[in-house]
Amino acid sequence: MNKKGFTTNGMTLTFILLGLIILLFITVPLLKMVVASDIGILLDTLLEKEVRNAIWLSIYAALIATVTGLLLGVPLAYILARSNFRGKTFIEGLIDVPIVVPHSAAGIALLFVFGSNFLAGKAFHLVGIDFVYSTAGIVIAMLFVSIPFLIDSAKEGFKKVDVRLEKVSRTLGASPWQSFFRVSLPLASRSIFAGTVMMWARGISEFGAILILAYHPMVASVLVWNRFETYGLDYARPVAVLLILVCLLLFIGFRTVIYRGEKA
Amino acid sequence: MIETKNLCVNLGSFQLQDINLTVDDGEYFIVLGPTGAGKTVLLETIAGLYPVKSGEIWLSGKEITRLEPEKRGISIVYQDQALFPHLSVKDNIVFGLRLRKQARQEIAASLDWLTELLGISHLLERKPNTLSGGERQKVALARALSIKPQVLLLDEPLSALDPESREAMQRELRRIHNRLKVTTIHVTHDFEEAIALGDHIAVLGEGRIKQVGTPKDIFNQPNSEFVARFAMTRNIFTGEVIDKGNGNTVFRTEDAELVVVTDLRGRLHASVRPEDILISPKPLHSSARNSFCGTITYIADRGSTLYLTVNLPPDFVCLVTRRSFEEMKLAEGNKVYITFKASAIHVF
C-alpha cells in the first residue's frame, strides 16, 4: 500500500471505504446472478439453438461494426490528434454525442436515415442491403453507439506519438503513408487496440438502438429482454448469465493481452 | 551548396524574415541564437517539414522550396534524438535504407560501416530507451547519415547531454565531419560550441540573421549589441563617440571617457573583452592609453581564472589568472587600476 509515498490517514481510509462500496455495487449483482445459477440449466440454455445464435450474432455483428469503425474512425482520430482547425472542438464534441443520447432515441434517429423509406435506406437497398430487421441494421446500431470509444482512444494514442518521429521518418525517405504505417500506427497500436476492445464490448452490450432498428434477428441482449417479457425472470436469467460470462471472458482476455504488452 | 533566398517563415507569435544563408559543400555551418529564436523551425523549413511563407530554398542548383521532405535527401538529428521507440537500434539505423528497397547485403554493409564509424556496433539489438544520452545521439547520427544525405541538419545536438559526453560528442562531430565532409547545418545557443565547430556562423535573433561570418569575425567584430552579448564580450557599453581634437577620439559612457580608434561617430556601442584588460594595484606605466582607477565590487571564481567586476563607474569585467590574482592579493573592496589599449575597444 505504501508505494509512491502513499500513507494511510483519515482521508485515504475514508476514500478506500467509499471505493469499496462502489466496487461491491458493481460486483455483487453480477456475481450473485452467476453464482446462483444452476449449472445444469445454464448448459441446457447453451444447447438451445436460439440462445447460441443470439450470442453468436452479438459477437459477430459487433465485430463487423468494430472493423468498420477501425476503417472509418482511425483516420479521423489521426486528423484530430494531429491538426488544429476551426471547429475541431465542435467535431470532438459531436463524436461523443452517441454516448450521451438515450440509445432508444439513437435507434429512432437511425431509422429516419436508414429506414426503407429514407434516402440512405433506399440507396443501400439498391445494392441489396436493408437495415430494418436485418444484421446490417444491428451493425449500424452498434457502430453508432460504440464508435466514440474507438475514436477517442485512438486519438489519445496518436497524440502521444511525438510528431518529430514522423518528421524524421519523412526526411529518411518515407512518404506520408509509409510514415503513418511504419511509425504512427505501430506506436499508437496499443491505444487503438484498447479502443477496439472497448468498442467491441460496447457493441455486444448494446440494446436500445438495436431494439428499435432490428428486433429480429435477435441478438443476445434483445433475447434476454424478450424472455423476461414473455416468460419472466427465471427464463431470462440463464441467458443473461451466459451473455455476462461471454462478455467477461472477452474483456478479461483482451485486458490481459494489453497488460502484457505494457509490461514488455 | 544549399542556399536560402529571402526565406520567410511564420512561427505564429513571430516570423523568421529575410533569411539568406549560403552553405558551401562540405562546410560545417553553425546557426547561433538564443532559445526561442526559431532555430529548430529554420531547420525544419530547410528539411521541408515546415511550410515556407515566402522566399526560396536551393539545393545544388535546384529549387526545392516546395519539394516533399522525402525527396530532398536532407536528414535531421533532433535535440532529443527522436529515435523510433518501437524499433531496435539496428532497425532505427536502417529505417531509411529499407524504405529505399536496398538489397540485403547492401544494407548490411552500410550498417557495418556506420556502426563502426560511430563505435556503436555493440548496441544493435538494444531498444532506444535503454541507451544513454550519448549513445542515443550516436544512433540518431548513424540513422541520419545512413541515407548519405546531401545536407545534415543538427538541432542542438549537444544540449541534452551531460558535460562529459557533450565534450566527447563535440569531438566526435568534428571527427566525423572531417572524415565524411557532409554539408552540415548545426543550430545551437552555445557560443563556445559554435566557435569550436563552425567554419561559418550565422547569428539568428529577433527573427533575422544578425551577422554571418567566421568564428573570428563574430568573436572580434560583432556588428550589433545583440551579437556582442551573444559573443560573450562581457563589457558592452552604450555611449557616444566624441572628437577631442588632435586625432583623439573618445567614447563617453556614464562618467568614463575611453580612448578609442574608430571612424564612427554618434551614439554607439563599445566592447572590450575581459581578457584584454590588465589589472594592477598601482598605476601601470605602459603605452596603453586607457587607465582607470576603480573598486572591485564582485569576484566570480572560475577555478584557474577569475572574473573581477571593477566599478569606475561603469562596471568593467576583467579576467585574471588565479596566479596573478593571488600574487596581487586582491579582494572585494580593493582599489585597483585597469588598463587596456585603445585598439582593444571595438566600437559598433
Helix (H, G, I), strand (E, B) or coil at B245: strand
How far apart are alpha carbons B265 and B235 in whole angstroms? Answer: 20
Percent of chain B with pLDDT over 90: 52
- Residue in B47, B70, B76 closest to A173 by CB: B70
Looking at every residue in chain B, the average pLDDT score rounds to 89
Distance CA A151, CA A153 (A): 6
**Residue owning grid cell 557533450:** B166
For the cut 50, the answer to whether the pLDDT of residue A1 exceeds it is no
- CA B224 – CA B203 distance, rounded (Å): 11
B218 and B259 co-located in one domain: no
If asked whether residues B154 and B198 sit together in one domain, one would say yes
Tell me the mean pLDDT in the region B237-250. 85
Q: Does B339 touch chain A (CB under 8 A)?
A: no
Q: Do both B245 and B153 map to the same domain?
A: no
pLDDT of residue A261: 66
Largest CA distance in chain A: 67
Q: What percent of chain A has pLDDT over 90?
A: 62
User: In this predicted model, what pLDDT tens digit does every residue of B276-312 receive, in sequence order?
Assistant: 899 988 888 777 788 899 999 888 887 888 888 898 8
B205/A1: higher pLDDT:
B205
Enter the ipTM.
Answer: 0.81
CB-CB contact of A92 with A80 (8 Å): yes
Q: Are residues B160 and B291 in the same domain?
A: no
For A178, the closest chain B residue by CA position comes to B99
First to last CA, chain A: 24
CATH number at B13 reads 3.40.50.300
Q: What is the pLDDT of residues B16-71, one digit of tens each?
A: 999 999 999 999 999 999 888 889 999 999 999 999 999 999 999 999 999 999 99
Mean pLDDT computed over B90-96: 96
* A171, A182, A183: residue with CB nearest B47: A171
CATH code of residue B301: 2.40.50.100
Lowest mean pLDDT among A2-6, A141-145, A254-258, B87-91: A2-6
What is the span of the domain harbouring residue B70?
2-229
Confidence of residue A4 (pLDDT cuts 50, 70, 90): low
What is the average pLDDT across B82-93?
96
Give dist(CA B82, CA B80) in Å, integer. Answer: 6
Which residues share a beta bridge with B209? B204
Let me know whether B31 and B164 are in one domain: yes
CATH architecture of A60-219: Orthogonal Bundle (1.10)
Please write the tens of the pLDDT for every residue from A75-119.
999 999 999 999 999 999 999 999 899 999 999 999 888 887 888
Decide which of B204, B229, B254 is a domain's last residue. Answer: B229
CB contact under 8 A, B49 and A170: yes
Three-state DSSP class for B253?
strand
pLDDT at B228: 77
Contact of B312 with chain A, judged by CB distance below 8 Å, is answered with no
Of B229, B261, B286, at which residue does a domain stop?
Answer: B229
Whether residue B223 is found in the same domain as residue B253: no
Average pLDDT (B104-123) is: 94
Contact B70 A186 (CB under 8 A): no
